[in-house]
Structure 1
Amino acid sequence: MSLRRVFVAGCVAAMLAGCVSTSTSQNPMKTAEGRQEAVQAYIDLGKGYLRTGQPERAKDPLKKALAISPNEAEALEALALVFQYEQEPSLAEEYYRKALGQSKEPRILYNYGGFLFEQKRYEDAYAQFELAAKDTLYSSRSRIFESMGITALELGQPDKARKHLQKALRLNRNQPRALLELTDLALKSKDYLPARDYYAAYSDMVSQQDARSLWLGIQLARVFDDRDTEASYGLQLKRLFPASNEYQQYRQTGGR
């Protein structure tokens, strides 16, 4: 945050209450640049509250940002995220649509797609991710392709999912979810060597595995007759996730 924005952030909270003078040269709110600085300061404050799990506190600064600039896409998007967090889907969608009415920024498209995925509206989610992916200069494009792949899986399109997930890894190899999904896809299609490579890369990347990844590791160990690894993963699955479906599958297929 610039020094000017820090100044504005402090002043807007006490606007017209002695923090600023009445002269245009000293009152940042009387210039277009100053108003935009204030808007951004309010947005930053609102997003800060949201990141720390305080959506109610985020609303006030975001409302103030919109009072200054009613069509500010970033503030509208942030309010959509607030209502999404609060499980108010109708309001969340309303504000996502308002934000997209002002800007087709790929970040907004991506977040809207994530909201639609959360609502199990997979075709709609995929369409938003596809639009977001068209911006080839977007810095987080790999995440979009990963989300497209996961959504394609929900739509029962494994070939399309594989294509998107591989694209995501070409853009950014550091994506454990994409690696795990590709492990699963390769295992199901009996492409065991790629499955082992994907799984090894995933295992190197994560500090602790979950029930699903351990079960995939067990299945791969069985394919390659690696009994020590199978036993190790099986013990972890039993100890950490005894109530999981994966542990039940392990037991039903000969595990202890």
Structure 2
Amino acid sequence: MKGYLVLLISLLLAGCAGQAVSPSDKSSDDAANAYTQLGMQYLRGGDSANAKSAFLRATEIDDDAVQAYSGLAMVFQLEQESELAENYFRQAISIAPDSAMLHNNFGAFLFSLERYAEACKELARATEDPFYNRRAQAFENLGRCYQLIERSDAAEHAFKRSLKLSPMRAVAIIELSTLSLDKGDDEQAATYFEQFSQMIDAKQTQHNAKSLWLGVRIARLQNNAIDASTYGLILKNLYPDSSEYRQYKESTR
């Protein structure tokens, strides 16, 4: 299939040279789509220069080639050209304003720039589409975003929506356990943590620094010194430079 696509592009290059093609023609749609797919192949292969050329050619053929604009945004994001990436994200969204995928990707991009309030708005838009196949992930991302702008209630709601859609989302479970503990609902925090522990036992997820520190805190509340020490030892061995381990050390003084 890859060889066929490359051949198709070479034929298009020969056939379109010196011609103006109307974007409304089906042949132009096919050409734009072919260039876009070629750009995606280059992007997956780490060849950003050829990816940009292919995506740009797609936009020249069809100025509504939304996936090509999205592709350019991703390339420039990888190249840390943030201003260019943002411009292409916005251009793609202007063409397809209801695309949950675009809002989710743009939200993740803004999140990476620590523009959390703007990121939350984009991620919230992504969750509005009931047919979006990554909606559970979008709710989880939205919850994390709300936490960073200190909207704990909204974060809790987003994490719960994520679990409704996909009950095995480890990040949402740990965050809900942490939120419950922070507001004094120790029983609910322990329930969520037990759910996470069952996923650990089934090898469906792995501990991280946050989950281990949470395990320490919950074990202490349950007067389970053995589990608290075990989680603390794992935290020390696996994440000695983490903020969670620093909190653990301070708590033992």
Same fold (TM over 0.5): yes
- Corresponding residue of 1:195: 189
Equivalent-residue separation in structure 2 for 1:202 and 1:50 (angstroms): 35
- Corresponding residue of 1:127: 121
Equivalent-residue separation in structure 2 for 1:53 and 1:8 (angstroms): 18
Q: Which moved more, 1:214-223 or 1:40-49?
A: 40-49
Question: Structure 1 vs Structure 2: percent identity of aligned residues?
Answer: 33
Change (3 A) 1:7 1:180: same
Summarize deviations over 1:198-222 as a string: whole Å, max 9, x none: 2233341554322222111111111
Q: Look up the equivalent residue of 1:90 and give its one-letter code.
A: E
Q: Which runs of 5+ in 1 are unaligned?
A: 21-30
- Corresponding residue of 2:88: 95
Q: Is the 8 A contact 2:170 2:205 kept in 1?
A: no
- Corresponding residue of 2:206: 208
Equivalent-residue separation in structure 1 for 2:13 and 2:38 (angstroms): 20
- Corresponding residue of 1:246: 244
Q: Counterpart of 2:130 in 1: which secondary structure?
A: coil
Equivalent-residue separation in structure 1 for 2:178 and 2:50 (angstroms): 41
Q: Counterpart of 1:13 in 2: which secondary structure?
A: helix
Equivalent-residue separation in structure 2 for 1:251 and 1:43 (angstroms): 52
Equivalent-residue separation in structure 1 for 2:51 and 2:196 (angstroms): 36
Equivalent-residue separation in structure 2 for 1:153 and 1:186 (angstroms): 13
Q: CA deviation at 1:227?
A: 2.0
Q: Look up the equivalent residue of 1:12 and give its one-letter code.
A: I
For normalisation by structure 1, the TM-score amounts to: 0.84
Q: CA deviation at 1:92?
A: 0.8
Q: CA deviation at 1:117?
A: 1.7
Summarize deviations over 1:69-121 as a string: whole Å, max 9, x none: 22211110111111112111110111011111111211111111111222222
Summarize deviations over 1:33-71 as a string: whole Å, max 9, x none: 444333333323322333454433421221222232222
Q: Look up the equivalent residue of 2:109 and give its one-letter code.
A: F
Q: Is the 8 A contact 1:129 1:147 kept in 2?
A: yes
Q: Which runs of 5+ in 2 are unaligned?
A: 16-23
Equivalent-residue separation in structure 1 for 2:47 and 2:186 (angstroms): 46
> Is residue 2:37 matched to residue 1:44?
yes
Q: Is the 8 A contact 1:162 1:185 kept in 2?
A: yes
Equivalent-residue separation in structure 2 for 1:88 and 1:218 (angstroms): 41
For normalisation by structure 2, the TM-score amounts to: 0.85
Equivalent-residue separation in structure 1 for 2:146 and 2:205 (angstroms): 27
Q: Counterpart of 1:71 in 2: which secondary structure?
A: coil
Change (3 A) 1:52 1:229: farther
Q: Is the 8 A contact 2:219 2:227 kept in 1?
A: yes
Q: Is the 8 A contact 1:211 1:247 kept in 2?
A: yes
Q: CA deviation at 1:131?
A: 2.2
Q: CA deviation at 1:170?
A: 0.4
Equivalent-residue separation in structure 1 for 2:193 and 2:184 (angstroms): 14
Q: CA deviation at 1:182?
A: 0.9
Q: Is the 8 A contact 2:215 2:231 kept in 1?
A: yes
Q: Is the 8 A contact 1:9 1:42 kept in 2?
A: no
Equivalent-residue separation in structure 2 for 1:241 and 1:134 (angstroms): 37
Equivalent-residue separation in structure 2 for 1:223 and 1:45 (angstroms): 56
Aligned mate of 2:223, from 222, 225, 228: 225
Equivalent-residue separation in structure 1 for 2:10 and 2:226 (angstroms): 62
Change (3 A) 1:16 1:41: closer
Q: CA deviation at 1:135?
A: 1.9
Summarize deviations over 1:122-144 as a string: whole Å, max 9, x none: 22222222222222222222222
Aligned mate of 1:85, from 54, 57, 78: 78
Equivalent-residue separation in structure 2 for 1:248 and 1:119 (angstroms): 26
> Is residue 2:7 matched to residue 1:10?
yes
